[in-house]
């Protein structure tokens, strides 16, 4: 193996690692942006239903019955 072959091989490894790093970084940024958009859209959709619940409000409707035990 000549010095030129080793240089080309080293250059190829360096270029491959650099390209892999760039692709991983691009994926991280892309997924991060999509996640932020999804969280903000979902947050707005959930908050669009109304403000804070009134004092003393419960999740159960007024006509709900207690479950009967067997």
- pLDDT tens sequence across 24-40: 999 999 999 999 999 99
Say which residue, 65 or 45, is predicted with more confidence.
45
Task: Tell me, yes or no, whether 29 lies in a domain.
Answer: yes
Task: Tell me, yes or no, whether 63 lies in a domain.
Answer: no
Q: What domain range includes position 32?
A: 23-47
Residue 38 makes CB contacts below 8 A (sequence gap 6+) with none
Count of structural domains within the chain: 1
53 has pLDDT over 60: no
Q: Show the 3-state SS of the chain.
A: CCHHHHHHHHHHHHHHHHHHHHHHHHHHHHHHHHHHHHHHHHHHHHHCCCCCCCCCCCCCCCCCCCCCCC
As a whole-number percent, the residues of the chain with pLDDT over 90 amount to: 46
Task: Tell me, yes or no, whether 69 lies in a domain.
Answer: no
Average pLDDT over residues 33-55: 81
Give the per-residue pLDDT at 27.
Answer: 98
Say which residue, 68 or 44, is predicted with more confidence.
44
């Amino acid at each position: 193996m000549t010095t030129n072959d080793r240089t080309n091989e080293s250059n190829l490894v360096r270029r491959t690692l650099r390209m892999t790093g760039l692709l991983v970084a691009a994926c991280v940024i892309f997924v991060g942006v999509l996640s932020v958009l999804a969280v903000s859209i979902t947050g707005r959709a959930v908050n669009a239903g109304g403000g804070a619940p009134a004092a003393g409000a419960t999740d159960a409707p007024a006509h709900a019955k207690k479950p009967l035990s067997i």
